[in-house]
Amino acid sequence: MAHSLLSTYAVQSFIDDRYDLIITNDHQGLNSGVFLLKNSEWSRSLLAHWWNSTEFVVRSNQPGAGSGDQAALAALLFDPANAQSHPRTHPEERERQLQQLALEHSQRYGSFSAAGHVKYLPQCAFNSYVDWHNDPLGIYVQGDFLVHFAGVGPLPVRLRYFRQVQLGRQF
């Protein structure tokens, strides 16, 4: 959470003992920037698999290239049973695609499954942004638990945003 600022909101309101991982999605899907993880066997297995998912590592000095951690976690949490395909995909093709994805998941992670262990919350539960390309969904408002400075630039830019949040600016 090096790029986040917490409010005085009670984190206990997000905890749900039925789940090992509580995470949010944003407009691009899963966001691994901020999440809650229970200390459990499943969580330790998740972290081990995630750490070893080196095929997703992005080696680039380009701004915005990312590191691959988010893609690795999304692949690890992928559940073929809940996968969506394009509405125009022929049912037989959809089934073939899902079988291929399930096989790849099994080959990569063995019997590891996210089913029943992950709870997805709306983005602003604890992953609000100060700005996201003029998209009002997911934008921080006073009272949100956390503002996540994802992709807003280098440290001086993030510090300006921190100060604006401290002063109560609405985005």
pLDDT digits (tens, 9 = 90+) for 39-91: 999 999 999 999 988 888 777 666 555 677 888 888 888 766 555 555 566 77
pTM for the model: 0.72
Here the tokens at position 93 are 């093709």
Residue ranges of domains in the chain: 4-78+114-166
pLDDT digits (tens, 9 = 90+) for 66-79: 677 888 888 888 76
Question: Above 80 in pLDDT, residue 158?
Answer: no
Beta strands in the chain (DSSP E): 4-6, 21-26, 29-37, 118-121, 146-148
- The answer to whether 32 and 69 are in contact (CB under 8 A) is yes
Spatial separation of the C-alpha atoms in residues 37 and 44, rounded to whole Å: 10
